[in-house]
Amino acid sequence: MKTHKIAVIPGDGIGPEVINEGVKVLNKIASLDHTFQFEFTSFPWGCEYYARYGKMMDDDGIERLKEFEAIYLGAVGFPGVPDHISLWDLLLKIRKSFDQYVNIRPITLLKGAPCPLVNFNSEDINMLFIRENTEGEYAGAGDWLYRGKENEVVLQNSVFSRKGTERIIRYAFEVALKQGKTLTSISKGNALNYSMVFWDQLFEEVGKEYPSVKTYSYLVDAAAMLMIKDPKRFEVVVTSNLFGDILTDLGAAIAGGLGLAAGANINPERVYPSMFEPIHGSAPDIAGKQLSNPLAAIWSASQLLDHLGYEQYGKVILTAIEQLLIEKNVLTPDLGGSSSTSEVGDCIVELIASNMNVLQTQKN
C-alpha cells in the first residue's frame, strides 16, 4: 500500500477546526480506496507558538517540511501578533522557500451556493485564477527610513523578474490550452509603467507560442468591475501576487463566500512540497465555537488529491460539497444553517461514502 506523507499545520483560530474536517475526509477517501493511505504529521506552529517561543516556526522548520509530499495548512494570524509577522514568518516563508510560484484559486459557483449577484448561476461563474505567488508586490523589498521622524519615508518595491513573470504566464497558457479555455491577463500597465508594461509585454511574447489560446487583457480596475457585471467572460485568469490576492477575495464573495474558497500553492517542478489551504484567515471572531465552515478546507483537500494524481477523488469531494449545498440540511451559520463545523465534515464523509459505493456498484 502506498503511503503519502503529509505535513499538517493547523495554525491559529479556526485553522485547527477546519483542518480536522479535511483530514477526516482525506482519511475516508483513502480507506475506501484501499491502495493508499495518508501519514499525517502535525506541527504546532503559528501565533500561539510565537507567544511562547518568540518565533512562528522552528528554526529548522523548512528543512523538516522538505521531507513531505505536501503541506496542509489551516490559517495563521491572531490578535496580539502583528499580521505582517505571522504572514511573513510562516506562510510567505513556506511559499518562497519552496518556490511555490503558482497559486491556484478556483472561483466556481457550485450549484446551491449563495451568490449575491442577481441573474447569474453556476454556469456563469467558473473561473480559475492563477496568481503569481513568490514575487511581484509581495517580494518584501523596500526600506523604512528616518523611522518616527518628520522626514519618515517608506519604500515598498515590486519585483517582476523575467523568469518569474514568464513562468507564471506560461503555466497559465498551458492550463488554458489543456482545458480548451480562454486566458485573461489582469495587469495595470497604464499606471505601473515599468512592472505592468513588462508583464503585458511578456504576456504577448509567451502568447505567440500558444496561437490556439484566445486571450484577453484587462486593467485590474476594469477587471474588478467586470467580475461583478459579466463574470462569464473570465475562464482561466493570470495575474500578479497582489492583484490575485484581492480579486480572489472578490471572487470568493460571488462564489459562495470565504467559507467555500480554496487555494493551492504549487511548486510545479515538484522539487519541493506544495501547500494546500483555505484562502480565509483564522477568523478570531468565531474561533473555538464550531461555527466555522470547513468546506473551503475540504475543497483544498480535493486540490491536494488532484496534485497527488487522484483527480477522480478530487471530483468526488466537489460533488459531495455540491450535494450538501443543494440539500441545505447541514450547513454552518455563514451559509444560513445551524450545524457545527464537525457535523458538516461528517456529512461530507457520509456523502462521499455513499457516492463511492454507487460508483463501485456501477463498476461491478
Ligand X SMILES: NC(=O)c1ccc[n+]([C@@H]2O[C@H](COP(=O)([O-])OP(=O)(O)OC[C@H]3O[C@@H](n4cnc5c(N)ncnc54)[C@H](O)[C@@H]3O)[C@@H](O)[C@H]2O)c1
Pairing mode, strands 70-75 and 2-11: parallel
Identity (one letter) of the amino acid at 226? L
Q: Counting contacts by CB under 6 A, is residue 323 touching ligand X?
A: no
Three cell numbers, residue 258: 470565504
Q: Counting contacts by CB under 6 A, is residue 286 touching ligand X?
A: yes
DSSP H or E segment with residue 194: none
Residues 121 to 180 in contact with ligand X, rule: CB under 6 A: none
Q: Counting contacts by CB under 6 A, is residue 259 touching ligand X?
A: yes
Specify the residue, 85 or 219, whose C-beta has the smaller distance to ligand X: 85
Of 184, 292, 302, 303, the residue at the interface with ligand X (CB under 6 A) is: 292
Q: Counting contacts by CB under 6 A, is residue 251 touching ligand X?
A: no
Which region, judged by CB under 6 A, interacts with ligand X, from 58-66, 118-126, 289-297, 346-354? 289-297
Minimum distance from residue 320 beta carbon to ligand X (Å): 17
Q: Counting contacts by CB under 6 A, is residue 265 touching ligand X?
A: no
Residues 1 to 60 in contact with ligand X, rule: CB under 6 A: 14, 18
Q: Counting contacts by CB under 6 A, is residue 240 touching ligand X?
A: no
Specify the residue, 76 or 183, whose C-beta has the smaller distance to ligand X: 76
Task: State how far the Cα of 315 lies from the Cα of 311, in Å rounded to an integer.
Answer: 6
Sequence-distant (6+) residues with CB within 8 A of 251 are 105, 107, 127, 129, 227, 261
Q: Counting contacts by CB under 6 A, is residue 103 touching ligand X?
A: no
Beta strands in the chain (DSSP E): 2-11, 36-42, 70-75, 102-108, 126-132, 136-145, 153-159, 183-187, 215-219, 236-239, 262-266, 274-278
Specify the residue, 103 or 187, whose C-beta has the smaller distance to ligand X: 103
Three-class SS state of 15: helix
Which region, judged by CB under 6 A, interacts with ligand X, from 103-111, 134-142, 284-292, 317-325? 284-292
Q: Counting contacts by CB under 6 A, is residue 255 touching ligand X?
A: no
Sequence-distant (6+) residues with CB within 8 A of 94 are 62, 65, 71, 73, 100, 265, 275
Which region, judged by CB under 6 A, interacts with ligand X, from 77-85, 101-109, 153-161, 312-320? 77-85
Q: Are 72 and 19 in contact (CB under 8 A)?
A: yes
Q: Counting contacts by CB under 6 A, is residue 189 touching ligand X?
A: no
Q: Are 290 and 342 in contact (CB under 8 A)?
A: yes
Q: How many residues touch ligand X (CB under 6 A)?
A: 23
Q: Counting contacts by CB under 6 A, is residue 75 touching ligand X?
A: yes
Q: By CB neighbour count within 10 A (0-12 exposed, 13-18 middle, 19+ buried), where does 56 fall?
A: buried
Write out the residues near ligand X by the rule CB under 6 A.
Answer: 14, 18, 75-78, 83, 87, 91, 258-259, 277, 280-286, 292-293, 296, 334
